[in-house]
Structure 1
Amino acid sequence: MSKTILTEEGFRKIQKEIDHIKTIRIPDIEKRLEVAEQVGDEEAIKSINEELNFYTQRIPYLENMQATAKVVKPEFGTYAAHQPNYEGFAKLGVLDDYVYQSLSHMGNASHLMSWAFTVLDHTDVPKELREEVRQVVAAIPKLQEQLRAYRK
């Protein structure tokens, strides 16, 4: 089994999720289960037990991920120290595939720009400026298509 590669921040995020599950999520589920049992709602009991089972299984999964992880610390000043989704790219084994990373970031940018364009409908921003934003949104998929030709 290959080790999960995590940055120190990724490691802390996993610990934060474990703590949240233990201190907030599970106690909340247990309270809901108690109420469902008191009223005799069998369907709710089954559903809540499934949810409880999911989270009780998730804790050892996350703890094992931490225990077997290789924690990396990107050098400060490198793009890796600040790059969004560094851990995800590491896990996929595409840290050296910069075209893939660029395409991924452009996909995220396209999604966010699409929302930026959508919310502008509720403003008094001039039509010309909204049209420029729309053109940027439309240009991203075209640029992505051109970049795909350079994938390794």
Structure 2
Amino acid sequence: MTDTATHSDDRFDIAAPHRELLDQVLDKWSLAVLNELCVQPARFSGLRRAIPAVTQKSLTATLRRLERNGIVERVVLGTRPVAVEYRITALGKTLRPPVDIILNWIEAYLPSIEEARRRFDEAMDGPSLTQEYEAGERMT
């Protein structure tokens, strides 16, 4: 894909509802939650242990968004005390193939992307954006 000319039929047509759903389903925490729930159902505390970097507030918001979109279901277990378990839905399972395609693309093109980043950072003659991002990640 070397042609960078803009063709009207090559443009992404991402309407507001599509963009909103992409933001809600493919964000950092949603992907981590879906990765866990694809393996097996989990309780909130199990998800917190499996994704230690997520805060309680972020995990709660993520689960609510995924539940609202029909990707995850919240099941109240008939135990004493009452417990809640989160499970991926049939609709949620359909996300796996497109996410796998994106991950395969990343695997194939990551060396080229890393080289482009290196050239960009050298041209900017300062700390790389990757280094700044990683430093910011360590602070959180």
Tell me the TM-score normalised to structure 1 length: 0.24
Larger radius of gyration: 1
Higher strand share: 2
Report the TM-score, using the length of structure 2 for normalisation: 0.26
Q: Which has the higher contact order (CA 8 A, sep 6+)?
A: 1
Instruction: Say which structure is richer in helix.
Output: 1
